Chain A
Amino acid sequence: MSRSVALFTGVFLLVFFAFGKAAYAMHITEGILPPRWVFTWFAVVIPFVGIGIYHVKRKKKAVPGYLPLVGMLGAAVFVFSCFPIPVISLNGMATSHPCGTGMSAVLLGPFVSVVVAAIALLIQALFLAHGGLTTLGGNIFSMGVLGSFSGYFAFKIAQRCKLSLFWCGFLAGTISDLFTYLGTSIELGLLVINKGGSFLKAVAEIFGMFMMTSQGVLCIVEGVIVGFILLFIYRRKPSILLDLGVIKDAAKPVQM
């Protein structure tokens, strides 16, 4: 009995460590997806990336400054995703990193945001060993496609509902994060179906684990931060938000 308790504790600690760290990067690592999923996810994301590229190209023709703008904001979003965010959760006070897709979707629109996410993921896979090359498709799907579109629509719907700028940003940040983790959980859950594992249970467990370790709090905190960011830009230089088409003139900045 005591042996199994020790074993269990060991396993538990290991899992905890693994989740703490894995959630830190939250991109699926090289080699984990089997060939058919690699293929599937690439097939799914290529149209999105293609449309994003088309958007950038078309806009670049009309406004040549668009390319440096996207590049610079892309770098800014990447840097934002390196922010050490303090979160309190089951595993105590820890820091975690935001995804940043919510913000890029709000600033750049969903399709261009997919391109930016793809580039960020490529850089992380190549130069930081977060994520991987064969899993790039899957990661672009969860973070780029799901994250961007959910964040973008959350923002737009919130704006329709006449919520204040802060709450619009909050919803964009939080919802895009939730969808990103959901996407990752689904992709991982799908790995067990062909060997008689139960897909839904696995997804629920993985998603639950993400939420219970720091990431659940992170979703909320990232939302708050994105809200503050938009608020700050609105107060300091509203012309930027107008130029990017984030707000029309009559946005209500704060109302908390």
Chain B
Amino acid sequence: MGFLHHTFSDVYARQNNWLTRIDVRVKLLYVISLLVMNLLAKNILISILFLSASFILLFSVKIPLKATLRSMLIPLSFAILILFVKGLHEGEKEWMSFAVAGHTVSLKEEGLRSGLHTCAKALGGISLVIVFSCTTTISRVCTGLKWFRVPNTIIELLAFVYRYIFLLLDEVSTMWIAQKSRLGHSSWKKAIKSLGTLGGMLTIRAFERSERTYEAMRARGYEGGGILTINLSPWKKREYVFVIGMVLILSLFIYAGNVQIW
């Protein structure tokens, strides 16, 4: 099956553990401010700290290491790409050079160094996002976004799109299999043609399904209003503790991030 080699990380978010129980607003505040810290930090240690802390957190809620590593593969490759872009273009001092087809290609020390820093930032940042997404379901995310005043239309569409991705993926993979088992993908040309058909069927079915869904929505009184009932629970003592803790941690990081060591 070529489809859905992606695993959406919110399958883990449906479990019940200490991280999933934390209020989403607190988690969002944490993640966003830590991501900003991660960007602003002047030394590599902060990002490495975030990376390792994230792994410990993920370990503490029993997310399989393999899953985490798999989802870090693409960010990692992107980070390596940046490393070379920077290495090739930034700075003066050569670290090493090659001759490729008559051209000299040289990697520069300064660029590599700042590239390495960016790599660390990428990994640190992405691991924070993974911690967030592995412990927060989509409906919680919507609640959180609502609290952050993200427009309702976006939140509704987000919830709606997310809800139907899996369904359509399932349907499409059945159709794909049906095509495959009648040899519709046996050569490159056929495969392209069949993918066109598949996309067309997908669009048509999405269109028809939207009509049926709209009927079902109308039957429950929908007249163009909101489609989400978001229930914000009041903040509890726990949440306040977390937020105060965050302020402390942040000030520590701001201090640590400004120390020049490299």
Contacts and interface: CB of A to CB of B under 8 A. Distances in A.
Contacts of A75: 160-165, 167-168, 206
22 contacts: A11-B107, A17-B77, A25-B78, A60-B153, A72-B160, A72-B206, A75-B165, A86-B188, A119-B157, A133-B31, A134-B125, A191-B85, A192-B85, A192-B89, A202-B89, A205-B88, A225-B195, A228-B195, A228-B197, A230-B200, A236-B201, A237-B207
Contact of A188 (B38, B85, B138, B162): B85
Interface in B105-136: 107, 110-111, 114, 118, 121-126, 128-130, 132-133
Interface string A199-219: 001100110000000000000
Contact of B35 (A7, A30, A57, A201): A30
Contacts of B4: 82
A233 B163 CA distance: 24
**Residue of B2, B165, B213, B227 most packed against chain A (CB within 10 A):** B165
Interface of B: 2-4, 6, 8-10, 31-32, 35-36, 38-40, 47, 71-75, 77-82, 84-86, 88-92, 96, 98, 100, 107, 110-111, 114, 118, 121-126, 128-130, 132-133, 138, 141, 151, 153-154, 156-158, 160-165, 167-169, 172, 188, 191-193, 195-207, 209-211, 213-214, 217-218, 222-224, 227
A157 interface: no
Nearest to B126: A30
B228 to A, nearest CB: 11
Given A82-B169, A115-B157, A198-B89, A229 B2 contact: no
A153 interface: no
A115 B210 CA distance: 18
A31 B121 contact: yes
State the majority secondary structure of interface residues on B.
helix
A73 B200 CA distance: 12
B224 A60 contact: yes
A115 B154 contact: yes
Given A32-B121, A83-B198, A73 B207 contact: yes
A171 B169 CA distance: 26
A105 interface: no
A134 B107 CA distance: 28
Contact of B196 (A38, A202, A224): A224
B154 A118 contact: yes
A47 interface: no
**Residue of B32, B80, B98, B210 most packed against chain A (CB within 10 A):** B210
**Residue of B80, B110, B200, B205 most packed against chain A (CB within 10 A):** B200
B66 to A, nearest CB: 14
A97 B170 CA distance: 18
A34 B170 CA distance: 39
A28 B9 contact: no
Given A68-B160, A134-B125, 12 more contacts: A19-B81, A21-B77, A31-B35, A35-B40, A64-B222, A127-B138, A128-B6, A197-B90, A228-B192, A229-B200, A231-B200, A236-B204
B164 A240 contact: no
Contact of A73 (B36, B74, B98, B203): B203
Contact of B204 (A56, A83, A240): A240
- 6 closest Cβ pairs, A-B complex: A228-B196, A232-B200, A197-B89, A71-B160, A31-B125, A21-B77
A128 B8 contact: yes
Contact of B75 (A7, A30, A224, A229): A30
A82 B143 CA distance: 27
A70 interface: yes
Nearest to A229: B199
Contacts of A88: 188
B98 A4 contact: yes
Nearest to A52: B153
A20 B80 CA distance: 12
Contact of B6 (A60, A82, A134): A82
Contacts of A32: 78-79, 82, 118, 121-122
A193 to B, nearest CB: 9
B80 A79 contact: no
B86 A191 contact: yes
A163 interface: no
A107 interface: yes
Contacts of A230: 200
Nearest to A22: B78
A92 interface: no
